[in-house]
Amino acid sequence: MFIDEARISVVGGAGGNGCMAFRREKYVPRGGPSGGDGGNGGSVYLEGDEGLNTLLQFRYNHEFTAERGRHGEGSNRHGRSGEDLVIRVPVGTIVYDEVTGAPLWDFDQPRQRYLAARGGRGGRGNARFATSVNQAPRRADPGEPGEEARLRLELKLLADAGLVGLPNVGKSTLISRLSAARPRIADYPFTTLEPVLGVVAVDPERSFVLADIPGLIEGAHSGRGLGVRFLRHIERTRVLLHLIDAAEQNGRDPAEDYRVIVSELERFSPAVARKPMILVASRVDAAGTGERLEALRRFCREQGQRLYEISAVTGEGLEALKGAAWETLEAAPRPMAGAVST
C-alpha cells in the first residue's frame, strides 16, 4: 500500500534525576556528598533511507519517544544516558511543523539526519554543589523533560521525469516497456491508483528515473478524480512527458486533451507547468486512418513543438523518446541540494 502523508508526535527522552547521597564508609569520617548526576535523555532523529518508498510504517504508529536517562546514584555514579531514537523515512520526505505548517527539513539525499526532538538534560547530583562553605549540600536537580513536537510528513517521490496525461492514454504500458516496473494495466479509467517509479536505461552507462502518476481529468486541481492527490510527486521532476492518445476510437479532440492537462498543471502549480515538456502521441498502432494523429501533428506544428510518435505495444519510437528525454534532462537545471521544497 502506498502512503504519502503521515502525522506523528515525537518526544525526546527525559533526563534522569540527580542523586542526593553522602558517603557512609568505614574508616572514612565525615564523608562528603556523593550523589551522581542523572543521564541525559535520548533524542529523536529522522533519517533519510533510500530503501523506503512509502510512509506506510506510520499508518498505525504515530507516537515516538526516545529512552529516558537513568537516575544518578550514590558513590558519585552517574546515570546512563538514554539511547537516541532514529526514525527512518523515504528520501523525498518533507517535514512540516504540524502546528504552524512551516517546512522544517527536506530529505533530498540519503542518510541525512534531522533532529526532531532533543532529549532532556540530566539533573545534577548533590556532589556538584559542594563548596568550601557548604560541604554537605542537600540539593539535587531533577532531570529536564525532553522536547516535544508534532510533525507532518509529506512524501514527494524523487524522479527525473514524470508521465502526465488523461486516464487510459498508455502511461502504465509505456513505463512497463521502458523499465522493469510492473504497474497494473487494464482498459478502464484510473487503473493506476498510486504512483509507480521505474528506472529507464538509455544505454549501459546512462539511466534516469521515470514516474507514472494516476491520470488527470478536468477539475483535478479542485479534487476531482485521483490525480490531484498525487500531483506532488511530479513537483521534483525536471521533465514532463505528456502522453496524448492517438487511437482512432478515442473520439476526442487531441488539442483539447492537451489544453485540459496543461490547464490542470497550471492551476495546481505554475512551477510544474513551466517544466520542459515532451509531447508524445501514444498508441499509434491503433491510429486507424490516422485522422486524429494528423490533427495532433498539425496542432504541434502550430505550437512549435516536436511530436514523438510511439507504440508501447510494438516498440515503435521508444528509443527516440528515451534519447529525447535524456537530452532534455541534460539541459534541465538540477534542483539545489538541501533546499526545502514546498
Which of the listed CATH numbers 2.70.210.12, 3.30.2130.30, 3.90.1640.30, 3.40.50.10540 matches domain 1-155? 2.70.210.12
Segments in the chain forming alpha helices (H): 171-178, 227-230, 254-268, 270-273, 291-303, 318-331
Lowest pLDDT segment from 38-47, 64-73, 287-296, 318-327: 287-296
pLDDT at 36 over 90: yes
Same fold, 1-155 and 161-331: no
2-26 pLDDT tens trace: 678 899 999 999 999 999 999 887 7
pLDDT at 113 over 70: yes
Residue 137 has what pLDDT?
93
Residue 226 has what pLDDT?
54
Tell the CATH topology of 161-331: Rossmann fold (3.40.50)
What average pLDDT score do residues 199-213 get?
88
More confident residue, 188 or 142: 142
CB 220 within 8 A of CB 266: no
More confident residue, 342 or 103: 103
Confidence of residue 229 (pLDDT cuts 50, 70, 90): low
Mean pLDDT of the chain: 87
CB 210 within 8 A of CB 160: yes
What average pLDDT score do residues 244-273 get?
85
Nearest to 8 by CA among 46, 71, 56, 58: 58
Nearest to 300 by CA among 249, 237, 258: 258
CA distances from 101 to 152, 155, 232, 235, 268 (A): 8, 15, 17, 19, 19
What average pLDDT score do residues 227-248 get?
83
More confident residue, 209 or 226: 209
CB 322 within 8 A of CB 308: no
As a whole number of angstroms, the distance between CA 193 and CA 149 comes to: 32
As a whole number of angstroms, the distance between CA 265 and CA 60 comes to: 33
Segment holding 141, helix H or strand E: none
What average pLDDT score do residues 28-51 get?
91
155-185 pLDDT tens trace: 888 789 999 988 888 888 899 999 887 766 6
What average pLDDT score do residues 94-123 get?
95
More confident residue, 53 or 77: 77
Annotated domain spans of the chain = 1-155, 161-331
179-199 pLDDT tens trace: 887 766 655 455 555 788 888
CB 46 within 8 A of CB 152: no
pLDDT at 288 over 80: no
As a whole number of angstroms, the distance between CA 171 and CA 230 comes to: 15
Residue 205 has what pLDDT?
83
- Provide the whole-model pTM: 0.76
